[in-house]
Chains A and B, each alone.
Chain A
Amino acid sequence: MSPSTAAPATPGPAGPGATTPMVEVRGLTQRFATAGGTVTALDGVDLAVERGRFVSLIGPSGCGKSTLLRVVADLITPTSGQVLVGGRSAAAARREQDYGIAFQSAGLLEWRTVARNVELPLELHGVGRRERRARALELLQLVGLGDVAGARPSQLSGGMQQRVAIARALAESPPLLLMDEPFGALDEMTRERLQDELLGIAAAAGTTVLFVTHSIPEAVYLSDRVVVMSARPGRIAAVVDVDLPRGTGTDVREAPEFFARVTDVREALRGAPVRAGASA
């Protein structure tokens, strides 16, 4: 492994000496047979997500962003094209638990306590009782829910349930986190707080994140790179690189760069051309 290069230049096949991308999608086409005929959800999509980066997929509904995420997760088998996760096939990556996943709805098992929900993936993969309990409590502390480990999911608010789902996705310390509109159903204040928590957690662990959202500010705020998709058929319309002044004490959400990138993404969504590598 070579040392990670600062700001990898272009996405694409890894050249000699470069690190393999965490996610690499080449020529992906996805068709579904429906009652009304065949629908092309994704058409010739290429995507590379470098390790340690936060990449968002944004686009109108029906653009195939969730489908793309599910193909990367190997929950859907693509019609054609190649998907590599951490350098191996998506199927192998799923078997080896290379990723953790979270959805818009928390999907907690109602009959399990909060802690046992977080333990679920560990339990399925044969981790011992004491070890997985310790890991679950550690993760619940991380997401600020250390005191509700014994509660039932139904006793928690929507934001807390989503935190549990994130803790569960992190249970096996995956190098990749796949998230499908995880904050979509939350109120604005909870959403912003969870965004900050997610950024902190991902940065601390060096986790790569592929994040599906339909919120432009959310995509810009969270991401190093926003992939803008267009619908029918789903294609990548533009890529907006984001470089916000993080960690400088300023409120990023009120920085001029933030608004500039929000504008870029909005224009890309409307179909206007975006300046290449627009990160001034």
Chain B
Amino acid sequence: MSGAAAGALRRAGVVLAAVAVLAAAWELYASFGPADGAGIAGVRLLPRADERSMPHLGTVLSTLGDPEVAVPGARTVGEAVLSGAWTTLRLALAGWAVGALVGAALAVAMQRLRLLEDGLLPWVVLSQTVPIIALAPVVAGWGGVLTVGPLAWTPAASVVVISAFLAFCPVAVGLLRGLQAPSALCEELFASYAASWRQQLLRLRLPASLPFLVPALRLAAAQAVVGAIVAEISTGTRGGIGRLIIEYAQQATSSPARVHAAVWGAAALGLLVAALITLADVALRRTRATPGGPA
């Protein structure tokens, strides 16, 4: 076995072990912790360990097999979580792609024109302080007002836009740093070749930016997933995991494990997206066969 493969296996083992430790801690507390929590002078310091607050992992797992509603032929909770995660995954990937494209275009423009960098970069960073909860109704309000060609503005489009709004920032900032990474010497070298801006971008700046771009895209993917879930919740878009979390939270009295099942789905979604980017990175490195990381 090659050293790289062994290293990857070892890292995977560490991650699994961490999950196992977390699960064991949860189980231990759920089994032996005080059902009503514990505290001093009315301030609760330890959380409740009752079935509603901390369902056993086994209960959450078995909930996945329960039918969602008591009607014959109804889909199971597991199917609902899977279907919700799949819907949200597609919206988040669309948001990620739109955000990455917009971010990349901004980065290239800012690299090209110093004036744009000075004028735009603070706003790019500042944009992330806008709470999505405040933004969501505005974007959702485009429905019925805005049409894109023959297409009307759908709630899904709102989710994509909000998700993209979170995803573009790391790409714009990270790619700009990468595009500015080449040394003054390399820039002089390309100037001495009388290389065009385009040649300099394609042969020098973009290759030099890859070690910055990949982490930026990974961060953007995580942001896109968060953005999509929050957008689903705050715009009331149906079908996704975000909406499912709300619905199941409302059923917490009767079936407390359900909301945990939905949260698991959301977490798995984030992991899946991060894994996809990592796989793409590995494939990219194989074709470039270059040691990664900023020099």
Contacts and interface: CB of A to CB of B under 8 A. Distances in A.
A97 B207 contact: no
Given A97-B194, A107-B183, A111-B207, A124 B288 contact: no
Contacts of B129: none
Nearest to B190: A124
Which range contains the number of B residues in contact with the other chain? 20 to 34
Nearest to B195: A124
Interface string A122-148: 011100000000000000000000000
B186 A107 contact: yes
A75 B193 contact: no
A109 B204 contact: yes
B192 A94 contact: yes
B185 interface: yes
Interface residues of A, number: 21
Contacts of B207: 109, 111
A52 interface: no
A75 B199 contact: no
B194 A101 contact: no
A237 B189 CA distance: 30
Contacts of A125: 193
Contacts of B195: 124
A105 B182 CA distance: 13
Contacts of A160: none
Nearest to A102: B189
Nearest to A70: B188
B254 interface: no
Nearest to B188: A75
A95 B194 contact: yes
A73 B192 CA distance: 7
Given A94-B194, A109-B204, A120-B203, A101 B189 contact: yes
Is chain B's interface secondary structure helix, strand, loop, or mixed overall? helix
Contact of B189 (A97, A99, A107): A107
B149 interface: no
Contacts of B210: 111
A152 B290 contact: yes
Given A75-B188, A111-B207, A154 B194 contact: no
A215 to B, nearest CB: 20
A59 B290 CA distance: 40
B295 interface: yes
B74 interface: no
A221 B193 CA distance: 30
Contact of A109 (B186, B192, B193, B291): B186
B186 to A, nearest CB: 5
B196 to A, nearest CB: 9
Nearest to A123: B203
A121 interface: yes
Contacts of A259: none
A92 B191 CA distance: 13
B191 A75 contact: yes
Contacts of A123: 203
Interface in B157-182: none
A248 to B, nearest CB: 37
Contact of B295 (A101, A103, A110, A120): A110
Contacts of B290: 110-111, 152
Given A110-B290, A154-B291, A97 B193 contact: yes
| 7 tightest Cβ-Cβ pairs between the two chains A and B | A107-B185, A111-B290, A95-B194, A101-B192, A111-B207, A124-B193, A121-B193
